[in-house]
Amino acid sequence: MVPESSPVPFQTLSWVVYCLLIAALLSFALTRAILATHECLWPIGWDLLRDVGMGQTLVEGRYPEDPILLGETLWYNPLTGAMLALGNILSGISMPRLGVLLGPWVNLAAPLGLVIFVTLLFGRAAGLAGMCIVFFGKAATVPIWVHFWYSPWLFPSLYGAGIMLLLFAVYYKALERRSYAGHAVAGLLLGLVFMAHTAPAVVAGGALLVCSAWEIVCLLTGCCADQEGGKADRALGRRKALKVMTTFGLMLAVAFLTSLPYTGSILWNYQFRVQSPAPSLFALDYVLLEQLPDRLVEALNWRNAFAVLGAVALLYRRDRAARLGLCWTLTVVLLFVQHYTWQLLERRFAILVQGIVPGHHWSIHLTAVRAMLFGVGVSAAGGLAADAVRRLCSVILRSAPASRSFPVFRQGLMFVAACVAGLLVYAMNPLTTHLDFQKPDMTLYHEYHQRSMPLYEWILENTPPDAVFICHEDEIAVTIVMPAARKLLFPPYIYCNPFVDPGPLSYVNRILVEPAMAGDAEAFCAERQKYSAVYMIMREEELIDPPAPFNALFEEVYRAERLVLFTARPCT
């Protein structure tokens, strides 16, 4: 930031220029995102369709029902579904379409959260450089699900991380002022993060716990240079440490109450007993153990060199802002190490350990940490360059620059370094040429994504909420039945409630599907009687020569986009 000794008009002007520059970057990215997605009617990712299903249960007044398992309650974070449901009620726009429309706007929370956090703690130059990494630091070959960046498509893992960074900024100011109100606001944000996505909530909880513990140790021992009172007044330190513990407890209490619409159902119905580890152990190929050598080679680049410099700068600073940044970094690194350790235990020793969330989410947070450290490193490099110029002037001209003007010169050089770094990052990955920011080929887009729409809409309008669907393919189950919040007889493992044992679900699926395909009316009806309505979705190519026994138990009710919907005939 501009030093206090700088003239007030210069301070004001520099802040105005900085805010305009940040606003220009945000507007540029937002415009590109809207242009790329405004014609699309259906989300590209399966995860958002799960949120659409959650929104459907809210619209139909069935919350906190599990959208896809009959007789169960929710297990997934409901904030995105709640936003979609509210938008649907207010506008009448379908929730899949709303998911597309909201993506460019809601995802601004990621770069905005980072720039607020980094600017507040480490200055404007660091904030600008960090934001440039968020916008332009993802290479086109890196999957969109493993990087902290600005995406046109709505991802709770991204905007949830943005809210987490805003939480860090609020917590920093609350800790600095020993404020009960500030900690209450931080608790509200922590609960909101948990409602959005579990991964940023775990990271935030771990980082804030470590940071608070560090603060308490500093107050009790007087070992930190920035602690007021130092070693002279241990009694004062103990009182302040007690207040830190009290305010931290207040923050956790507010977070718990805020998250009850989500956690209440899990606590009451499942007591957090995990029956199926599959959802939490899923990991994209990009972060599998065998891919780790490739990831380490990718990490050898100039951007990460500046990030390492940023880490050194934080270790050198030893103030409260640096401690919070280091605590966040340490938490994410430990979670990433845990992810690879769990894989190693499973593959080398056949030891299966329950995870927290799919491992690629820790990659998102590692790149978020990298953005902060990159910004700090670039800013530090600019400061070191200014110090070198000052020493050079002292040697050559035998007089150092005026002490009053040098801080302004130093700040200006740091900002120039941030601008140069940002331009270099942009030159390597221009947003205008990034695939996700290009308008898609609508013919291909329809073929791969929007084909689900007619059957999805028919199911919404013509089937009861407790209707049970049989799908032989996960893609059909996830893209048609799940967003409609109708029940799947046997959901895909990674989208199945982890607090429900999948074994009985597999058995029920077998004793209903096998008699149906074999035409065993007696066995089929014995199980079918348990459900109000049973449907089956098949592809047209599977029905070139449908077996007669199957036709005796099911009748066709709808056909669209090479998909056919059958309903089970009444059993007499």
* pLDDT value of position 67: 94
Structural domain ending residue among the three candidates 411, 436, 461:
436
Given a cut of 60, whether residue 344 has pLDDT beyond it is yes
User: How would residue 114 be classed by pLDDT, with cut points 50, 70 and 90?
Assistant: very high
Structural domain ending residue among the three candidates 436, 457, 480:
436
SS (H, E, C) 155-167: CHHHHHHHHHHHH
Q: Please check whether residues 414 and 537 belong to one and the same domain.
A: no
Residue 97 maps to a domain: no
* pLDDT value of position 542: 78
Q: Please check whether residues 332 and 201 belong to one and the same domain.
A: yes
pLDDT in tens, 437-480: 888 888 888 888 888 899 999 999 999 999 999 988 889 999 99
User: How would residue 514 be classed by pLDDT, with cut points 50, 70 and 90?
Assistant: confident
User: How would residue 347 be classed by pLDDT, with cut points 50, 70 and 90?
Assistant: confident
Residue 54 maps to a domain: no
> How far is the C-alpha of 359 from the C-alpha of 365, rounded, in Å?
11
Three-point CA angle 374, 163, 358, nearest 5°: 80
Q: Please check whether residues 174 and 301 belong to one and the same domain.
A: yes
Report the domain count for the chain: 2
What does each C-alpha distance from 543 to 276, 382, 556 come to in angstroms?
34, 68, 11
Given a cut of 70, whether residue 62 has pLDDT beyond it is yes
Q: Taking residues 514-529, report their average pLDDT.
A: 83
Q: Which two tokens stand for residue 386?
A: 């200014």
Amino acid at 123: G
> How far is the C-alpha of 234 from the C-alpha of 241, rounded, in Å?
10
Are residues 108 and 26 in contact, defined by beta-carbon separation less than 8 angstroms?
yes
Strand order from edge to edge, sheet including 563-568: 487-488, 468-471, 534-539, 563-568, 554-560
Residue 57 maps to a domain: no
Residue 345 maps to a domain: yes
* pLDDT value of position 515: 84
Q: Please check whether residues 305 and 351 belong to one and the same domain.
A: yes
Strand partners, 65: 73
Are residues 517 and 550 in contact, defined by beta-carbon separation less than 8 angstroms?
yes
> How far is the C-alpha of 559 from the C-alpha of 563, rounded, in Å?
6
> How far is the C-alpha of 555 from the C-alpha of 103, rounded, in Å?
39
Give the domain extent around 485: 445-568
Q: Please check whether residues 489 and 352 belong to one and the same domain.
A: no
Q: Please check whether residues 412 and 494 belong to one and the same domain.
A: no
Q: Please check whether residues 425 and 486 belong to one and the same domain.
A: no
Residue 48 maps to a domain: no
> How far is the C-alpha of 149 from the C-alpha of 146, rounded, in Å?
9
Residue 92 maps to a domain: no
Residue 76 maps to a domain: no
Given a cut of 60, whether residue 369 has pLDDT beyond it is yes
> How far is the C-alpha of 309 from the C-alpha of 467, rounded, in Å?
58
Q: Please check whether residues 165 and 314 belong to one and the same domain.
A: yes
* pLDDT value of position 236: 81
Residue 99 maps to a domain: no
Q: Please check whether residues 455 and 411 belong to one and the same domain.
A: no
pLDDT in tens, 307-317: 999 999 999 98
3-state secondary structure of 470: strand
Q: Please check whether residues 177 and 116 belong to one and the same domain.
A: yes
Structural domain ending residue among the three candidates 404, 436, 468:
436
Q: Please check whether residues 479 and 391 belong to one and the same domain.
A: no
Q: Please check whether residues 418 and 394 belong to one and the same domain.
A: yes
Given a cut of 60, whether residue 536 has pLDDT beyond it is yes
- β-pair type (534-539, 563-568): antiparallel
Give the pTM. 0.93
DSSP state of 537: E
Q: How many residues are there in the chain? A: 572
